[in-house]
Structure 1
């Protein structure tokens, strides 16, 4: 057990753009009963982290804030009453906040063991994207072998997870992305069809790729006017799963469009599913053999130091990233 007294951390006093994040020297939080202290090696940055700093996330941002919802490292100390973990053990964490620091104290129940064979960056890239992908396609989407799924933002952290999970479920995967380089990433991961998302005839192109039928499942992350296009891409009794609105605009759902094809639209938020009995246990059982076999592998994109956190957030906003952006506090 180590006893450092201070740590470097990213500190947000007021919500705003990434530049509001400050690198500070802070006291290490006190270790309370039921909590674990981690030495943080890698933080997986999600679009939700960016929204939290901007004050635009689904839940109000409480400041001051150390951002970082998802991270991985080693157990440094155990609080009173904690069992099932050992000092030095590699773990990942869905702590909700606090990751962008050299050390973090988190409730023991937010820790998950790191699957064998994953390094710290891969472990930090796994929980949010892959659990969300499972909940989207399996728990809420009820995907069936042979169905077709359309994945927007296919080269991003969630997109790359959805492609791999879709392939594991024996779905036909249509991937949309903004550049040819990003489509190459999707293709290499096993997407059956890749299409540039910005093309003016995207609805017709998706219809053509499905023999005129449309897709059975569509993972909507764009929002805004894209939602109307998404509805037009659907097959009869298709399911639209709304996971985000990267455009910053809510999409309008036409009740007439839903009725004509008997469509369903479902919102997806990992946080509200975490407490559902059996959901995460089912996801772990699904992923364990796939990770061991190498059929699924977290896709780590560019890595940044703690000092580069604002640049990492800005790159995500500018759609300059692929895979999971990872910040390494010990660098």
Structure 2
């Protein structure tokens, strides 16, 4: 397949609100050594895209400045040294940038085949959240069978993924969400108890549910606003894994004694700056451990809205409203 010389992509006219984005025309990127060129059929919308648009999450050196960290579509060209993929293959991939476009180059080591039975929209809802959850909840925090975990933001794309994966691997799951509808969604996905953070104290509920012990692991995207309470909600030898700072990144006058007394571990990461080798290791484990669950129907992405590529501004407004449950996906073509 011969790729065109130009393509549509989402251009940032500056940093700020959703209105700084507009569809523009530019050259189709060339795949570098180890890359594949994908004709994008669908692209996921994620919080890091919002942060980049606002000027708070710049792309790493060498990455495309175009928004978009997860795509699905057809391989149309192979860079030097690529093996394991052929032109015409349908893949989803964790992109280092450039996903809001008709064509996107991605490292072949960060691409996966569609799970059997998946189309582009379902496949595009996988990479960013599944890479993030697997790395932070399983690789770093070490969640295992029969442990307990609290997932903050349980109705988000990350949250809906984390609940399902933790449940599938034999953990007892608790989740927080901001409405009765969102709490019900968390329960439907496998949470034993969903906590409405607007009307309930998650520390109290966790202690009640665990007979005073606390949970083994907390996956947190709130940050500073929850830091001290998270320490209180953890069991001895527990782990707090922080993946975002929606509630701020600076915590003042926090009592750190629980870290020592309960031998707690506090960790965290962001996906984009990780090395290609690290991302490949996550990709390989997802393929062996999680793709069978997707193909069996035991786990599935929760998709709130599929919107035309041209409605990217509205898609970001929906993301920022937090009115969604699960993923927002842009469809091209």
1:31–1:105 CA contact under 8 A, matched in 2: yes
The whole-number CA distance in structure 2 between the counterparts of 1:142 and 1:120 is: 31
Separation of aligned partners in 2, 1:152 and 1:274: 28
- Residue 127 (1) aligns with residue 130 (2): no
- With normalisation by structure 1, the TM-score equals 0.92
**Shift of the alpha carbon at 1:73?**
0.4
**Pair 29,270 (structure 1): closer, same or farther in 2 beyond 3 Å:** closer
Q: Greater shift after overlay, 211-220 or 98-107?
A: 98-107
Give the direction of change, closer, same or farther, for the CA distance of 1:311–1:249 in structure 2 (3 Å limit).
Answer: farther
Q: Specify the alignment match of 1:143 in structure 2.
A: 143
| Most deviating of 41-50 and 84-93 | 84-93
Q: Tell me the equivalent position of 1:18.
A: 18
Taking structure 1 as reference, are residues 273 and 157 closer, same or farther at Cα in structure 2, changes over 3 Å only? farther
Tell me how far apart the structure 1 counterparts of residues 263 and 40 of structure 2 sit (CA, whole Å): 47
Compared with structure 1, are the counterparts of its residues 170 and 293 closer, same or farther at alpha carbon in structure 2 (3 Å cutoff)? same
Contact 2:225 2:247 in 1 (8 A): no
CA drift of 1:29 comes to 2.5
Instruction: Give the corresponding residue for 1:267.
Output: 268
The equivalent residue for 1:318 is 321
Deviation string 1:109-130 (CA, Å, 9 cap, x unpaired) is: 3322222222111211112211
State which drifts further: 83-92 or 171-180: 83-92
- Aligned position for 1:86: 86
Are the aligned partners of 1:274 and 1:280 in contact in 2 as well (CA < 8 Å)? no
- Given that 2:109 and 2:283 are in contact with CA atoms closer than 8 Å, whether structure 1 keeps it comes out as no
Match of 1:216 in 2: 216
2:149 is paired with a residue whose SS is strand
Moved more, 155-164 or 103-112: 103-112
Change (3 A) 1:137 1:254: same
3-state SS, counterpart of residue 77 of structure 1: strand
TM-score, length basis structure 2:
0.91
Alpha carbons 1:14, 1:63 under 8 Å: kept: no
| Residue 287 of structure 2 is aligned to residue 281 of structure 1 | no
Q: Secondary structure at the match of 1:270?
A: coil
1:7 is displaced (CA, Å) by 1.8
Is the deviation greater in 249-258 or in 66-75?
Answer: 249-258
Preserved CA contact (<8 Å) 1:13 1:63: no
When residues 2 and 24 of structure 1 are mapped into structure 2, their CA distance, relative to the original with a 3 A threshold, is: same
SS in structure 1 of the partner of residue 133 of structure 2: helix
Alpha-carbon distance between aligned partners in 1 of 2:276 and 2:30, rounded to the nearest angstrom: 26
Higher deviation after alignment, 26-35 or 177-186: 26-35
Query: Contact (CA 8 Å) 1:14, 1:20: kept in 2 or not?
Result: yes
Q: 1:183 to 1:40 in 2, by over 3 A?
A: same
Distance in 2 between residues matched to 1:267 and 1:32, nearest whole Å = 31
Q: 1:64: Cα distance to partner?
A: 8.1
1:290 deviates by: 1.2
Distance 1:143 1:58, change over 3 A: farther
| 1:143-222 paired onto structure 2 within 5 Å | 143-222=143-222
| Alpha-carbon RMSD | 2.3
Q: Secondary structure at the match of 2:26?
A: strand
In the alignment, the residues of structure 1 paired with residue 288 and residue 10 of structure 2 have an alpha-carbon distance, to the nearest angstrom, of 35
What is the CA-CA distance between 1:319 and the residue it aligns to?
A: 0.8
**Helix, strand or coil for the counterpart of 1:123?**
helix
In the aligned structure 1, how far is the partner of 2:121 from the partner of 2:281?
27
Any conservation in 2 of the 1:74–1:89 contact (CA below 8 Å)?
A: yes
- Distance 1:299-1:251 versus aligned 2 partners, 3 A rule: farther
Query: What secondary structure, in the 3-state scheme, does the structure 1 residue paired with 2:93 have?
Result: strand
**Residues in 2 aligned to 1:45 and 1:27: alpha-carbon distance in whole angstroms:** 22
Q: Which runs of 5+ in 2 are unaligned?
A: none
